[in-house]
């Protein structure tokens, strides 16, 4: 069995700090509510909790199946993959979605798993903690489940897609989420009742990533159809059709795996398949910078604060980028 060792020293690069130590893909990242902590989740079954300066605070491994049977024997050997991580609004708790269909609750200050929630539908692929302390989770069955964590119960469950949910992105107002799956549509869902309020149509293939602008006006999406799109939610009616309230921000020869809005709302980061992160203006989509350093495909992007960008990759690392006011690196 491989042993995960996350170093307490930093590996500095010209434009970023490297969080190294996972032994496989770093699938997921999350930033604490005060912007001081970053969490990583890996295919190796490990969770890392880091300071934004790169200091390691805790390393936690998900429990392995006690009695391997069938497919569980692979999980017992390799570890349960961590597919999603999310901090609660207080920053005291971290939820980690596992490939075993369990949401593990981590006490951030102690760095240990204290409880778990089991969802229907197989692996937990996406998590989103709401301002009121409730937790949204999505899995392989395309269902969105709302948990009251304090009472350890699921209070709502809604079938949104026929294929696995990939990401749940909360709107700035906390009343809506945008959800994408292994389908070409994106759904905007009201948290109250989990009712779909808008369906965004325009992509031609799987949508991997979705992100809200800070003012809630725009959604950015990235797809396997080799485009990143920008949706203006102030325009259009119920269903937004191609050529209506969306425009192509980016179109090349590679699928887009992740998207993230900068805190000023004027820039969006995208991760096409490959090792570079592209920074584009909003709403025009003009390229303003390219960040290079990863050595394999990028899995996730997040802006913890102005002039900071966090990325994770299949190269078994995450990076914290320092980006200057003019999008030049410092």
Collect all residues with Cβ–Cβ distance below 8 Å to 124 and sequence separation of at least 6: 83, 84, 97, 98, 99, 101, 102, 103, 137, 138, 139
> Is the Cα dihedral 271, 277, 283, 287 positive or negative?
negative
Q: Are residues 69 and 170 in the same domain?
A: no
Domain containing residue 102: CATH number? 2.130.10.10
Q: Are residues 183 and 154 in the same domain?
A: no
At residue 41, the pLDDT reads 97
Collect all residues with Cβ–Cβ distance below 8 Å to 106 and sequence separation of at least 6: 47, 49, 60, 93, 94, 95, 96, 112, 113, 114
Residue that finishes a domain, picked among 110, 131, 159: 159
Tens-digit pLDDT string for the chain (330 aa)? 333 333 333 333 337 899 988 999 999 999 999 989 999 999 999 999 999 888 889 999 998 765 544 455 544 445 689 999 999 999 999 999 988 899 999 999 999 999 999 887 678 999 999 999 999 999 889 999 999 998 999 999 999 999 999 999 999 999 999 999 999 999 999 999 999 999 999 999 999 999 999 999 999 999 999 999 999 998 865 444 443 478 999 999 999 999 999 999 999 999 999 999 999 999 999 999 999 999 999 999 999 888 889 999 999 999 999 876 544 443
Residue 194 lies in a domain: yes
Q: Are residues 109 and 224 in the same domain?
A: no
Q: Which of 219, 141, 134 is nearest to 185 (CA)?
A: 219
Tell me the sheet residues that pair with 128: 136
**310 contacts 304 by C-beta, under 8 angstroms:** yes
At residue 236, the pLDDT reads 65
Count: domains in the chain: 2
Q: Are residues 152 and 209 in the same domain?
A: no
| Helix (H) and strand (E) counts in the chain | 1, 30
Residue that finishes a domain, picked among 159, 183, 218: 159
State how far the Cα of 287 lies from the Cα of 272, in Å rounded to an integer.
13
At residue 12, the pLDDT reads 36
State how far the Cα of 296 lies from the Cα of 275, in Å rounded to an integer.
5
Torsion angle (degrees, nearest 10) of CA 290, 263, 182, 296: 30
Widest Cα–Cα separation across the chain: 55
At residue 175, the pLDDT reads 95
Could you tell me what percentage of the chain is helix, strand and coil, using 3-state DSSP and rounding each to the nearest 5?
A: 5, 55, 45
Please give the structure tokens belonging to residue 315: 């190269």
State how far the Cα of 107 lies from the Cα of 240, in Å rounded to an integer.
41
Q: Are residues 150 and 193 in the same domain?
A: no
Residue 280 lies in a domain: yes
Q: Are residues 43 and 143 in the same domain?
A: yes
At residue 235, the pLDDT reads 80
Please give the structure tokens belonging to residue 186: 């994106």
Residue that finishes a domain, picked among 159, 177, 195: 159
At residue 305, the pLDDT reads 85
Collect all residues with Cβ–Cβ distance below 8 Å to 18 and sequence separation of at least 6: 10, 11, 12, 54, 293, 317, 318, 319
Instruction: Please give the full DSSP string across 176-242, using - where no structure is assigned.
Output: EEEEEESSS-EEEEETGGGEEEEEE---SS-EEEEEE-TTSSEEEEEETTSEEEEEETTSS-SEE-T
Residue 53 lies in a domain: yes
The 3-state DSSP class for residue 65 equals coil
Backbone φ and ψ of 192, nearest 5°:
-70, 110
Q: Are residues 95 and 194 in the same domain?
A: no
Q: Are residues 150 and 253 in the same domain?
A: no
Q: List alpha helices for the chain, DSSP H.
A: 72-78
**Which residue range forms the structural domain that includes residue 96?**
27-159
At residue 121, the pLDDT reads 65
Q: How many Å is the Cα radius of gyration of the chain?
A: 19
């Amino acid at each position: 069995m491989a042993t995960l060792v996350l170093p307490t020293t930093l590996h500095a690069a010209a434009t970023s700090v490297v969080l190294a130590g996972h032994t496989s893909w770093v699938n997921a990242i999350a930033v604490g509510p005060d912007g001081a902590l970053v969490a990583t989740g890996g295919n190796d079954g490990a969770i890392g909790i880091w300071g934004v300066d790169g200091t390691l605070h805790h390393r936690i491994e998900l429990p392995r199946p006690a009695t391997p049977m069938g497919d569980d024997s692979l999980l017992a050997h390799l570890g349960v993959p961590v597919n999603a991580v999310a901090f609660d609004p207080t920053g005291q708790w971290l939820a980690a979605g596992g490939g075993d269909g369990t949401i593990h609750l981590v006490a951030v200050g102690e760095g240990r798993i204290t409880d778990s929630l089991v969802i229907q539908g197989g692996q937990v692929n996406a998590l989103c903690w709401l301002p009121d302390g409730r937790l949204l989770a999505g899995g392989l069955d395309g269902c969105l489940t709302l948990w009251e964590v304090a009472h350890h119960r699921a209070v709502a469950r809604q079938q949104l897609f026929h294929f696995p949910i990939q990401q749940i992105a909360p709107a700035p107002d906390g009343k809506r989420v945008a959800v994408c799956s292994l389908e070409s549509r994106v759904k905007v869902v009201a948290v109250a009742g989990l009712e779909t309020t808008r369906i965004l149509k325009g992509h031609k293939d799987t949508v991997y990533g979705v992100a809200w602008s800070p003012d809630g006006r725009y959604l950015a999406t990235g797809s396997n159809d080799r485009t990143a799109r920008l949706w203006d939610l102030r325009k259009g009616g119920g269903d937004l059709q191609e050529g209506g309230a969306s425009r192509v921000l980016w179109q090349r020869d590679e699928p887009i795996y992740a998207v993230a809005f900068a805190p000023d709302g004027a820039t969006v980061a995208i991760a096409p398949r490959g090792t570079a992160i592209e920074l584009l203006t909003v709403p025009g989509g003009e390229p303003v910078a390219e960040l290079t350093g990863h050595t394999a495909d990028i899995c996730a992007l997040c802006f913890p604060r102005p002039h900071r960008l966090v990325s994770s990759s299949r190269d078994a690392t995450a990076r914290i980028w320092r980006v200057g006011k003019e999008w030049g690196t410092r």
